[in-house]
Amino acid sequence: MAIELTETAVAAAIDHAILKPDLTRADVDRELDVAAEWGVFSVCVRPSDVSYAVRRLAGTAVAVGTVIGFPHGTTSTAAKVAELRQAHEDGASEFDMVVHIGALLGGEDERVVSDIRTVVDAAGGLVTKVILETSFLDDEQIVRGSRLAEAGGATFVKTSTGFAGGGATAEHIALMRRSVSPAVQVKASGGVRGLEAAVAMLEAGATRLGTSASAIILGELRARAAGGPATGTEDAGSY
């Protein structure tokens, strides 16, 4: 698909991931500064960092999102709802929930949809993204998971947590895009660490990118526009 490859357009597709479990407050500060400097759409932070991120990003246009049931998806639905409500109270406006992966693999479609629907309802119309963890799934399961996410009312279906091996591929993004209606968007996450990978995901149908390599991606794009060497070479981490 045709995409706009300007720095502004690509930044507007990025959820800057700040999710590694060993991040200190100083590390979080540095990543929040990266998000603000490059003008990405949002940060996706650990639940315990939501209120802090909201305060620190006040006055910028960067939204704050968080993860629910992360990274395994096996907490109870009630726990996911409680986590979302706390995050919303703390100021998060987007929620990336992990599907119950075992239920999806086991063909418990009604259980999967019920889990998603209950969390979506608790979000009260705010953006919800359902993470399938595609590295565990075959193509049929990716198609079914994508359709179950739509049946549950999700705004997005998303590839990966970034913490289970593997990650987003253009082929999986294209498959997910074909599996849902235009009302549902697709988010690529896991392994999107440079401009080439970002462009491949966007061309395959992703409208949002989850990455900790925002400075690298946007630095490469800025350098390309200026005809100079790449910038923004911070450590991209594992996400």
- Parent domain of 209: 7-226
Is residue 32 domain-resident? yes
- Do strands 63-68 and 42-45 pair parallel, antiparallel, or not at all (unpaired)? parallel
Would residue 231 count as lying in a domain? no
Q: Is 58 helix (H, G, I), strand (E, B) or coil?
A: coil
Instruction: Decide if 93 is inside a domain.
Output: yes
C-alpha dist (Å) from residue 140 to 99, 107, 145, 146, 193:
16, 11, 8, 10, 27
**How many domains is the chain partitioned into structurally?**
1
pLDDT of residue 231: 47
pLDDT number for residue 118: 98
Confidence of residue 1 (pLDDT cuts 50, 70, 90): low
Q: Which of 80, 90, 115, 158 is catalytic?
A: 158
CATH number, residue 216: 3.20.20.70
Q: Hey, what are 99's tokens?
A: 């599907």
User: 96 an active-site residue?
Assistant: yes
**The predicted structure's pLDDT at residue 228:** 63
The answer to whether residue 83 sits within a structural domain is yes
- Catalytic residue at 187? yes
CA 223 – CA 77 distance, rounded (Å): 45
Q: Residue 97: its pLDDT value, please?
A: 98
The catalytically annotated residue of 49, 90, 96, 115 is: 96
- Between 195-204 and 214-226, two packed helices, what is the crossing angle to 10 degrees? 100
Residue 90 catalytic? no
pLDDT tens readout for residues 145-196: 999 999 999 999 999 999 998 889 999 999 999 999 999 999 999 999 999 9
Residue 148 located in a structural domain:
yes
Encoded amino acid at 205, one letter: G
Instruction: Confirm whether 237 is domain-assigned.
Output: no
Task: Write b or e for each residue in 38-54: b if 16 or more Cβ atoms lie within 10 A of its Cβ, otherwise e.
Answer: bbbbbbbbbbebbbbbb
| Domain membership flag for residue 239 | no
